[in-house]
Structures are given as structure tokens and as C-alpha cells.
């Protein structure tokens, strides 16, 4: 049993002023594995004050000083890759293979930000005018539970590269993972007050960060509903905001796709992180003339997506993070059936033998119309909607007929054609043929998927202001 009663403020672990205690529940079996004392507004204000003091000097740091800190953060986090992965498997139920990749990608963010920092000129001359890129100030970083180490490292890396000091409010569902990470980052011997971490509820700690006038910027990853609140409430203190929100990402399978590769690839994108991924490709657009082949291909390929213990490397789909999330998925599966979609594989209830935890059946619906609830709303679980299309233009129209625009995929053998289709998708990222990543490529959404971008230079720019000095 892990008991967490402190927050990380001004370079030290300090006792919580907040008194509320929350159980930490293991999603594979519902057992209580820890207790965390949640922060209150006072803890949050102390953390903001520490970050403000630290900004007075860190805000004037040189590129080389920031680069050194980023390298130290990278080294400190790298030394704990396995601990961080284990914590993600234990507390969140992340499948071990994918959890390791997510953690590694968070660790890599420190070096990617260092590269962006080295390459981005912070001073430019326009005749007699000097333009400099200045850190925006104290940044509040608010994160979701589905990739804790990645979000914290990514946002912290960009903020540090820009010269900002931070107060992090991780999801309370990631308390153990956050503690393992903060203990690791503490070893980087950071300037006091640069990094502060207060774990608490969104409407307490998060809300204080959003309304506090000493916080200049909020970088948020989470739901649209909370993103809207942050934008509205942040306006009172003119907060700069980056919002990384939800998605309902289309995977367009073109009629020349090689199905033996395309179908497993589409399922990987749909079920990654057990379907609890903002970028999950949860709408599969299939040409009508290949629909029957695709259905058969899915029935066969799904056998490789074993549900099970997330610590077992053979498992492809682990539990949902919580009972609440389990029930949310069930309600969407019921809604899909009610609205007339047909369950091809999966369906309601627990998979056999997994009744004790928050496990759901990876589910694929066919006969889905794009205006059905399961094709429009983000489910955030392993539920895929197969939608048939006639022409390429219709596929593009359906792909873009969504309030979201975070991620998309195009699968096909003719690369020129795949690129042409990709260039017409209204989404922040489009991958061709496989889920792939580039730590310098921007990440973020069109429309309700958010505001602003993260990663590399784009992520760093989100923490900068421009100042011109004219002579």
C-alpha cells in the first residue's frame, strides 16, 4: 500500500495542507493499492508563489543553462524508465509494451526540446529593431490520466526550453505514477521552484491555477468540457492557453490497400492504449466494394488483440482506468446497438474470465452511419465504428464530418494518392499507412480537438511571447 501525503513545492516534498484523502484503485482487480492526500487551494497558491519566485531568475536564463537542465532532466527520467513503466501498468492498467513506449516518448521529449531550443533563434534583428522571444511566465500544466509520464515530461520540457517555471496538476488518477516521476526528476537537481507538482482535484487545484493572476499560461490535456471551462475562466486573467482535447479520428482505408497489413494497422490504431487514446482511429472508413473482405479480415485479425493482464507482454488490451470509464464504454456499446449498428465482434459486458476488473471487450461495429452517436462522440475505449463509403470524395467528406480534428490515417499502396487524400483531411496530424511519430512534428487539433500545438519547436513557441525593442 502506497501512501502519499506530500506535494512537491519549491524543490522539496512538503506535507499537504489539503486534508481530503482519496483511495487509489487498481483497475485489474478493484483492490485499493494506495491513498493520496489531495491538495487544496492553499497548496496550489504556495506552489504558484514558489514558481513565481523562481521565474525571477530562470526567466532570464541563457539557452545553455536551459539546455543543461533539459539534459539533466533527460538523464534523471531515463534512469527510471522501468519504474515509470511499472507504475503505469500497476495504477493505470496500461499494457506493458505500450506503456514502455509512452514513457520513453516522454523521456525523449527533453532532448527533442533541447534540439528545438538550440535551433530556434531567440533574438532577431529587423533593421534597428531587435525582436526577442521571451518566456511567458509561470505556467500551469494540467494533465489527463491516460499517458501521465508523457504529458508531464512533454509539457515540462517545452516550458523549460522557453524559460518558464511550472506548477503541474496531474490527474488524481495518476497519483502513484506522478510520485515515481517526480522522485526521478528531483534527482535532476533543478533550481528551486522551477518544478512544482500538486496533485488534487480539477475543480480545486486546476481551477485555482486557471484563475490565479500569477499564472500566465495554462497548457491542458483533457476533455472538451474542461477545455471550455479553462478557456472561459482563464479569460478573466487573460491566460494564454494550449488545449489538447479529444478526437474521433478517421482511418481511411483506400480501395488499393493491402488488407493483410492495413487491417491489423487499423486495429492497432483503434485499440492503442486499450482504446484510451485521444488519437485512437475509432472510425474506419471502408470502400463499399471491399466491405465484406474487410469484415472477414477484422474477424481474423481481432484474435491477435488479446485482453488480459496488462503486465503480460502478450496482452494487447488491458482494463479501463476506472469503473466509471468501464460503465461509460458499456453505455456507448448499448447506444450503438440501439441506434441500429451491428456488433461484428465484442459487445457488452466483461470478457469471460475478467469479471473482477474494469475490462471490456474490444468491439467493432459495422453498418455504422457517420451521424450515429458512436461515430460522432469520443468513447475513449476499444470501440471501433466501420463506416462504408462510395467514392474517394465521399471518404474525405465523412472523415471531415466531425466536430473533432486531432488525428487521421490513410491506408493505401499508391503513396501519391494517399498523400493527396491526407492533404484534404482537417486534422492536426495525418499518418500514412502506420501509426508513426516524430518528436519535432507538431501535435494538436483542429476544431474541438483543441487550440495550439505541442512537441519540438511548436511546443516551445506556445510558452513564448515576442518582444520588440526599437531604436
Q: Which is nearer to ligand NAD, 66 or 239 (CB)?
A: 239
Asked if 92 and 145 touch (Cβ cutoff 8 Å), the reply is yes
Helix, strand, or coil here: 435?
A: coil
Which alpha helices (H) appear in 187-309, and where do they start and end? 207-211, 224-234, 259-271, 291-301
Measured over the CA atoms of residue 87, residue 92, residue 96 and residue 102, the dihedral's sign is: negative
**Residues ≥6 apart with Cβ < 8 Å to 377:** 248, 332
Q: CB of residue 214 vs ligand NAD: minimum separation in angstroms?
A: 16
C-beta of 333 vs 418, nearer to ligand NAD: 333
Q: Measured from the CB of residue 468, what is the shortest distance to ligand NAD in angstroms?
A: 32
Rg (CA), the chain: 22
- Binding to ligand NAD by CB under 6 A, coded x per residue (else -) over 20-59, reads ----------------------------------------
236's CB contacts (< 8 A; 6+ apart) are 211
Q: How far is the CB of 392 from ligand NAD (least distance, A)?
A: 27
Regarding 322 and contact with ligand NAD (CB under 6 A), the answer is no
Query: What's the distance, CA 291 to chain centroid?
Result: 32
- Under the criterion CB under 6 A, does residue 237 sit at the interface with ligand NAD? no
* C-alpha to C-alpha distance for 278 and 454, rounded to whole angstroms: 14
- 193 scored as a contact of ligand NAD (CB under 6 A): no
Sign of the dihedral defined by the CA atoms of residues 80, 7, 462, 241, in that order: positive
262 binds ligand NAD (CB under 6 A): no
Q: Which of 294, 378, 381, 421 binds ligand NAD (CB under 6 A)?
A: 378
| 112: contact with ligand NAD by CB under 6 A | no
**Does the active-site annotation cover 244?**
yes
Q: Is 278 a residue of the active site?
A: yes
| Residue 202 interacting with ligand NAD (CB under 6 A) | yes
Q: What is the largest CA-CA distance in the chain?
A: 74
d(CA 395, CA 407): 15
- Contacts of ligand NAD in 116-145 (CB under 6 A): 142-145
Catalytic residue among 90, 114, 172, 278: 278
206, 287, 382, 452: residue in contact with ligand NAD (rule CB under 6 A): 206
Site for ligand NAD in 160-189 (CB under 6 A): 169, 171
Shortest Cβ 244–ligand NAD spacing (Å): 3
Using the structure block, give the residue that is written with the C-alpha cell 474541438.
448
- Rule CB under 6 A: say whether 405 interacts with ligand NAD: no
Q: Does residue 203 bind ligand NAD (CB under 6 A)?
A: yes
Q: Is residue 281 close enough to count as binding ligand NAD by CB under 6 A?
A: no
Please, which residue, 119 or 228, has the CB nearer to ligand NAD?
A: 228
Q: Which residues bind ligand NAD (CB under 6 A)?
A: 142-146, 169, 171, 201-203, 206-207, 210, 221-223, 226, 229-230, 244-247, 278, 378, 380, 406, 450
**Residues taking part in catalysis:** 244, 278
Amino acid at each position: 500500500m502506497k501512501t502519499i501525503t506530500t506535494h512537491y513545492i519549491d524543490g522539496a516534498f512538503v506535507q499537504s495542507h489539503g486534508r481530503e484523502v482519496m483511495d487509489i484503485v487498481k483497475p485489474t482487480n478493484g483492490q485499493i493499492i494506495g491513498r493520496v492526500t489531495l491538495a487544496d487551494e492553499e497548496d496550489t497558491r504556495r506552489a504558484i508563489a514558489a514558481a513565481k519566485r523562481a521565474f525571477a531568475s530562470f526567466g532570464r536564463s541563457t539557452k545553455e543553462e536551459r539546455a543543461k537542465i533539459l539534459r539533466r532532466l533527460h538523464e534523471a527520467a531515463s534512469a527510471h524508465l522501468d519504474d515509470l513503466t511499472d507504475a503505469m501498468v500497476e495504477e493505470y492498467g496500461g499494457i506493458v509494451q505500450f506503456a514502455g513506449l509512452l514513457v520513453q516518448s516522454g523521456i525523449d521529449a527533453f532532448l527533442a526540446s533541447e534540439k528545438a531550443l538550440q535551433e530556434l533563434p531567440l533574438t532577431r534583428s529587423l533593421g534597428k529593431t531587435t525582436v526577442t522571444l521571451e518566456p511567458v511566465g509561470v505556467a500551469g500544466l494540467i494533465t489527463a490520466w491516460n499517458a501521465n509520464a508523457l504529458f508531464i515530461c512533454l509539457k515540462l520540457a517545452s516550458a523549460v526550453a522557453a524559460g518558464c517555471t511550472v506548477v503541474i496538476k496531474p490527474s488524481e488518477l495518476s497519483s502513484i505514477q506522478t510520485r515515481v516521476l517526480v522522485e526521478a526528476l528531483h534527482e535532476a537537481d533543478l533550481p528551486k521552484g522551477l518544478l512544482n507538482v500538486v496533485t488534487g482535484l480539477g475543480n480545486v487545484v486546476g481551477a485555482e491555477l486557471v484563475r490565479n493572476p500569477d499564472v500566465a499560461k495554462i497548457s491542458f490535456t483533457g476533455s472538451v468540457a474542461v477545455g471550455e471551462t479553462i478557456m472561459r475562466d482563464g479569460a478573466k486573467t487573460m491566460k494564454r492557453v494550449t488545449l489538447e482535447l479529444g478526437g474521433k479520428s478517421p482511418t481511411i482505408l483506400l480501395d488499393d490497400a493491402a488488407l493483410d497489413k492495413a487491417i491489423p494497422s487499423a486495429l492497432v490504431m483503434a485499440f492503442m492504449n486499450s482504446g484510451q487514446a485521444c488519437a485512437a482511429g475509432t472510425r474506419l472508413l471502408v470502400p463499399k466494394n471491399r466491405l465484406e473482405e474487410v469484415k472477414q479480415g477484422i474477424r481474423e485479425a481481432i484474435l491477435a488483440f488479446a485482453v488480459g493482464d496488462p503486465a503480460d507482454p502478450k496482452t494487447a488490451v488491458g482494463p479501463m482506468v476506472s469503473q466509471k470509464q468501464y460503465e461509460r464504454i458499456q453505455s456507448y456499446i448499448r447506444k450503438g446497438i440501439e441506434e441500429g449498428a451491428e456488433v461484428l465482434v465484442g459487445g457488452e459486458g466483461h470478457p469471460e474470465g475478467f469479471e473482477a476488473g474494469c475490462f471490456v471487450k474490444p468491439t467493432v461495429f459495422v453498418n455504422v452511419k457517420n451521424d450515429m452517436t458512436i461515430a460522432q462522440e469520443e468513447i475513449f475505449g476499444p470501440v471501433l465504428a466501420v463506416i462504408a463509403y462510395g467514392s474517394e470524395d465521399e471518404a474525405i467528406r465523412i472523415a471531415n464530418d466531425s466536430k473533432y480534428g486531432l488525428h487521421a490515417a490513410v491506408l493505401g499502396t499508391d503513396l501519391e494518392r494517399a498523400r493527396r487524400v491526407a492533404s484534404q483531411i482537417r486534422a492536426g496530424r495525418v499518418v500514412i499507412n502506420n501509426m508513426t511519430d516524430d518528436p519535432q512534428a507538431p501535435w494538436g487539433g483542429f476544431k474541438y480537438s483543441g487550440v495550439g500545438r505541442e512537441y519540438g519547436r511548436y511546443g516551445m513557441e506556445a510558452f513564448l511571447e515576442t518582444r520588440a525593442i526599437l531604436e
